[in-house]
Structure 1
Amino acid sequence: MKELNNLEMETISGGAFDSAFCKGVAAVDIAYGAGVLLNLWNPVGWVGAAGGLAVNAYCFAYG
């Protein structure tokens, strides 16, 4: 099995799928978050909003 050095490991990413997934989640979460903040729409509650925030935090850190 090939060993990866640190420089090779820094270039590993999820590729196009990961990038597209993060962009899609961010677009939906922006609209959803605006509705939550304006108290207009919150069908899944604060737990759902926290879930969206967690996914966006992952995308920001690794995307």
Structure 2
Amino acid sequence: MDNKRAKEIVSSPVMVNVTYDGIPVYIDSVNEGNNTAKIHFLNQPDSKQEVSITNLVEH
């Protein structure tokens, strides 16, 4: 995934199917300067982490 698409997903009112290491995630925010995104796993909403946007996959 790239920064532009990640930002579109964050601002979209529609839930988009995105995975990180094959696990469904929600993108909370995008940091363009670092090319990273803050995410949380759908089954663990309290466990947030910052990951490289290139490791996110849209399905």
| TM exceeding 0.5 | no
Q: Is the radius of gyration larger for structure 1 or structure 2?
A: 1
Higher strand share: 2
TM-score (norm 1): 0.31
TM-score (norm 2): 0.32
